[in-house]
Amino acid sequence: MSKSKKERGICELYAEDPERADYLVFGRVADKGRRGFLKGAGLVTMGAALGAAIPFHRNMPAGLIPAAYAESLADFKIAGKNGLTVLNDRPINAETPAHLLNDDITPTDRLFIRNNGLPPENMDPATWTLTIDGDVERPMTLSIDDLKREFEVVSYALQLECGGNGRSAFNPPARGNQWSLGAVGNCMWTGVRLVDVLNAVGVKPTAIYTAHYGADTHLSGDPDKLPISRGVPIEKAMSPYNLIAFEQNGGPIHPMNGAPLRLVVPGWPGSCSQKWLTRIQLRDVEHDGPKMTGSSYRVPKNNVAPGTDVPKEDFEIIHSMPVKSLITLPETGITLPAGTTVAAVRGHAWAGDNFISRVDVSHDFGTTWTETNLMVPPNPYSWQTWEVDVPLPEPGYYEIWARATDSEGNQQPFAINWNPKGYLNNTMPRVAVTVGA
């Protein structure tokens, strides 16, 4: 975990400005010194955080740190999540420490959370509907039961990674959530194929882009503003691995991961995977919703030197995510007992629309590399697990580095490809291991 200046303990946050802290943590400004105003999404969020409804919430003084919280935001518990590190610059953004991502399939309680706005109050699957409209022959509004009844239900392991994962390593720093390594995961998602639904409504030849809409609300509370609405080119939308998902790991979708219905568009920035999905519109132009324009999810067309002020017209929209790996075992910073001569090393690798062809590790600062045992993925767009035993010939400090290569021959770089908004950091992961003397 990088120790960026943005990380503050929850106590410090509340001491400085309790109302702002309430806003950051729960997404609502308290009014007249009470949280009575904290209805709706703010209350749902606080309830979710505490793991129960709050019968006397109207009496709860604003700016009071709930006693259920430990000392710091890092220990702030989100019901149904376990061990995540909470970043504090927006309502509920939380990442997973690398060593807690060791499973092939990421458990629901370990999947990161990236919210741009406030989660909807009502997440009832029985009344939820999805509208598909725009440049289609037969616009439709379907319930979740309709989706299950009318389309084939499939399950895939799909990697989901925030476009800004790894941003905390940028220098000069890039504004935004200071993710270290853990805004990524690989859950088993169950739903219907987006392409099947698009074929059922009949995509008009004029449609070139999708536009995704969710039920979450803007941080300002302004009902006319959307927190985020992104889309993908129609060619990507037609991939058979995009799901309109209603289950996560065989159970309900976690409220913060988009219950009761979300898109999973694997291999592209996580922002394409609209949570709390209510509408998919087909458009005859590149979609221009919030976080589609300007420099959002865009990088300079050509590499630039760190700190370069890049003109808007030189940016292009991010499509596939780059080749990347994560070391999940051993946990970085550990000391192994004296006499240890070998370490079991394990992790995952993924490459946007591509497959992984090999993962190598080094235990001598990149001088020599050993090819790891790479697993076959259960389906395309799943991350691929790899493992290897690494020799640690004598006591002392070691670094284990991993380097993935994808099916197109792309390889993880050592140094960051700097860009102004801090996207796509796919540098080789490194863990520190000490063998005791």
Considering only residues 275, 287, 298, 324, which one is a binding residue for ligand MTE as defined by CB under 6 A?
Answer: 275
Considering only residues 28, 35, 110, 114, which one is a binding residue for Mo ion as defined by CB under 5 A?
Answer: 114
Which of ligand MTE, Mo ion, none does 111 bind, CB closer than 5 to 8 A by kind? ligand MTE
Considering only residues 45, 85, 88, 115, which one is a binding residue for ligand MTE as defined by CB under 6 A?
Answer: 115
Strand partners, 244: 192, 263
Encoded one letter per residue, x for contact with ligand MTE by CB under 6 A and - for no contact, window 228-267 reads: x----------------------------xx---------
- Asked if 362 and 369 touch (Cβ cutoff 8 Å), the reply is yes
Which of ligand MTE, Mo ion, none does 76 bind, CB closer than 5 to 8 A by kind? none
The least distance separating ligand MTE from the CB of residue 386, rounded to whole angstroms, comes to 23
Alpha-carbon gap, residue 69 to 71, rounded angstroms: 7
51 residue type, one letter: G
112 sits near ligand MTE (criterion: CB under 6 A): yes
Q: Whose structure tokens read 């609300």?
A: 217
The least distance separating ligand MTE from the CB of residue 290, rounded to whole angstroms, comes to 10
Which of ligand MTE, Mo ion, none does 275 bind, CB closer than 5 to 8 A by kind? ligand MTE
Considering only residues 96, 180, 249, 271, which one is a binding residue for ligand MTE as defined by CB under 6 A?
Answer: 271
The least distance separating ligand MTE from the CB of residue 77, rounded to whole angstroms, comes to 17
Q: Where in 155-174 is the site for ligand MTE (CB under 6 A)?
A: 160, 162
Tell me which DSSP letter residue 296 carries: T
Q: Where in 327-366 is the site for ligand MTE (CB under 6 A)?
A: none
Nearer to ligand MTE, 49 or 160 (CB): 160
Q: Where are the beta strands (DSSP E) in 151-249?
A: 153-161, 184-193, 209-214, 243-248
The least distance separating ligand MTE from the CB of residue 136, rounded to whole angstroms, comes to 21
Tell me which DSSP letter residue 330 carries: S
Count of CA atoms in the C-beta half-sphere (13 A) of 265 = 29
From residue 101, how far is each of 47, 104, 112, 183 by CA, in Å?
Answer: 26, 8, 10, 10
Q: What's phi and psi for 99, nearest 5 deg?
A: -70, -10
Q: Where in 155-184 is the site for Mo ion (CB under 5 A)?
A: 162
Burial class (CB in 10 A: 0-12, 13-18, 19+), 169: middle
Q: Both tokens of residue 220?
A: 């300002």
Closest CA to 26 of 83, 55, 69: 69
Which residues sit at the interface with ligand MTE, rule CB under 6 A?
111-117, 160, 162, 214, 216, 227-228, 257-258, 270-271, 273-276
Which residues sit at the interface with Mo ion, rule CB under 5 A?
114, 162, 270-271
